[in-house]
Amino acid sequence: MEYYNYIKALHLIFVVTWFAALFYIPRLFIYHIEANDKPSPEREILTNQLKLMTKRLWFIIGWPSAILCTLFALVLLHLNSGLIYQPWMQVKLGFVVALIAYHFKCHQIFKQLQRDEVNYSSRFMRIFNEATSLILFAVVFLVILKSAVNWIYGVVGIFALAILLMLGIRFYKRVREKNPEA
pLDDT at position 161? 80
Binding residues: 11, 92
Whether 79 contacts 1, CB under 8 Å:
yes
Binding residues for heme: 11, 92
Q: pLDDT digit string (tens) for 90-121? A: 989 999 999 999 999 999 999 999 999 999 99
**In angstroms, how far is the first alpha carbon of the chain from the final one?**
52
The whole-angstrom separation of Cα 112 and Cα 101 is 17
Pick from 76, 75, 89: which is nearest to 138 by CA? 89
Whether 72 contacts 10, CB under 8 Å:
yes
pLDDT at position 165? 82
Quickly state the pLDDT bin for 149 (edges 50, 70, 90). Answer: low
Q: pLDDT digit string (tens) for 47-82? A: 999 999 999 999 999 999 999 999 999 999 999 999
The whole-angstrom separation of Cα 165 and Cα 167 is 5
Asked if the model's pLDDT at residue 182 lies above 70, the reply is: no
Q: pTM value? A: 0.84
DSSP-derived letter for residue 109 is H
